[in-house]
Structure 1
């Protein structure tokens, strides 16, 4: 199986203190991969590193995707801006028409279709600050649909939403896999990971295991990850390796 992403001895840091330490792993192409681990294990940091949103001081990231779509945690999104559901979804095409262009008829059609696909038909003109957490997550998934990306990165996509919304959005994720897109998701629900994600990467600041989920989420690996997370020294000396950008 080919790799969509290859992490080579990757260390990611904040203020020269490693948040992810010397990770080497491959993310299989056209597959659904979960990033799991204890709280503070560096899962979201690793996802952001794949996008170049955080510095890393050592190693490199190799990516074969032509287009990447990213869903941040809802807590990182300001919903107070006065914008409608439709216009939020249409932002998925921002890279095509930019700040001074305008959406074309196919873009408008695709936005309506994406909203229907996530179960929000009739919500097009609703302001996003009037939506529930689950409804807003559907909006964000609709926006991802418009990006038509080869690689989709999801940071805690099912946190604090109801079971029906989880089921509907998982149907979207499976559709991406059927279309040969690569999906990488930071998740906390091990039962869901075992049920829905064939591939996993288990972190505890360092890599514990990567590969088929059934092997990665073994009792032995989970105990090791917990022990590693509890033993991590937050007061350790800063790393002295000079910072360099990824290749």
Structure 2
């Protein structure tokens, strides 16, 4: 579904992801984990096309219309003048276009999506009036309407209560059973171990990728923390070189001495 080949992504020529290779298989359910600043959100934004590739390649087999993306709340403009119903309705865009009419089936689906996240009766409220947890649930309801084959979720449980989190985890499991490909950025190791058969551990570079119990080991997690602490964001600019060169070269300018 998604293949990364020596992928490098940079912000202002400072590395955010360095030489990542691997693939998300069709129908896989994968948690993306790692310390803060390890490139997890960057990976999802690159897959969806929001960030440019600085080196290597990324191949996505699905068209944009079949990809659903849930951003972090910090990336959402809460002042935009739109109510809850219309925000969820935007999830129908790939199916109805800019001028298509909303039919009875879609209206019923919107009501069902809002009910599934516990927001019945919120349809006419402006999103600016919502709490962080309520807005997160609205965004998830919008994503439900997209009916996508590739689903990217960036920390979907932030500001959600336990009941809503359990309902969302059930939905994610159902997507997996339906053969959809789901990639989720998470911080909660318990959720990763309990609900996600595959895991990708990042520290700007690839630490481990595969079955969750093989990835989430004490050794790998310790290595990821050490790698993250070694990065120096005030160092010199990143030069995109080949993977072979990096393996034989001395320590790069972006790594602080440890």
TM-score, normalised to structure 2, is 0.87
The yes-or-no answer on 1:24 pairing with 2:18 is no
Say which of 42, 45, 66 aligns to 1:48. 45
* CA RMSD after TM alignment: 1.7
Q: Which of 35, 53, 71 is matched with 1:38 structurally? A: 35
Aligned position for 1:70: 69
Cα pair 2:70 2:152 within 8 Å, conserved: yes
SS in 2 for 1:78: coil
Cα distance in 1, alignment partners of residues 209 and 140 from structure 2: 27
Q: State the distance in 1 between where 2:158 and 2:25 align.
A: 24
Q: What's the counterpart of residue 139 of structure 2?
A: 140
CA distance in 1 between partners of 2:234 and 2:127 (Å): 41
Unaligned runs of 5+ in 2: 242-258
Matched, 1:96 2:95: yes
Alpha-carbon shift at residue 17 of structure 1 (Å): 1.6
Indicate conservation of the 8 Å contact 1:31/1:182, yes or no.
yes
Q: How far is the alpha carbon of 1:105 from its aligned partner?
A: 3.1
Give the TM-score normalised by structure 1: 0.90
Partner of 1:235: 234
Q: Which residue of 2 aligns with 1:169?
A: 168
Residues 7, 23 of structure 1: 8 Å contact kept? yes
CA distance in 2, matches of 1:160, 1:146: 21
SS state of the match for residue 35, structure 2?
coil
Residues in 1 aligned to 2:128 and 2:147: alpha-carbon distance in whole angstroms: 26
Aligned to 1:82: 81
Tell me, in whole angstroms, the C-alpha distance in 2 between the residues paired with 1:213 and 1:175: 19
- Counterpart Cα distance in 1 of 2:104 and 2:84: 18
Q: Which residue of 1 aligns with 2:254?
A: none
Greater shift in the superposed pair: 199-208 or 46-55? 46-55
Q: In the TM superposition, what is the alpha-carbon distance from 1:103 to its structure 2 partner?
A: 2.4
Does 2:194 align with 1:195?
Answer: yes
What is the deviation of 1:172?
1.6
> 1:147 & 1:61 partners in 2: Cα distance?
23
Check the 8 A contact 1:90/1:143 in 2, yes or no.
yes
Q: Detail structure 1 runs of 4+ shifted over 4 Å in the superposition.
A: none
User: 1:102: Cα distance to partner?
Assistant: 3.2
Tell me the CA shift for residue 133 of structure 1.
2.3
Residue of structure 1 aligned with 2:10, choices 10, 13, 38 = 13
Matched, 1:58 2:55: yes
Q: Contact 1:156 / 1:185 at 8 angstroms: preserved in 2?
A: yes
> Aligned to 2:54, what secondary structure does the other structure show?
strand
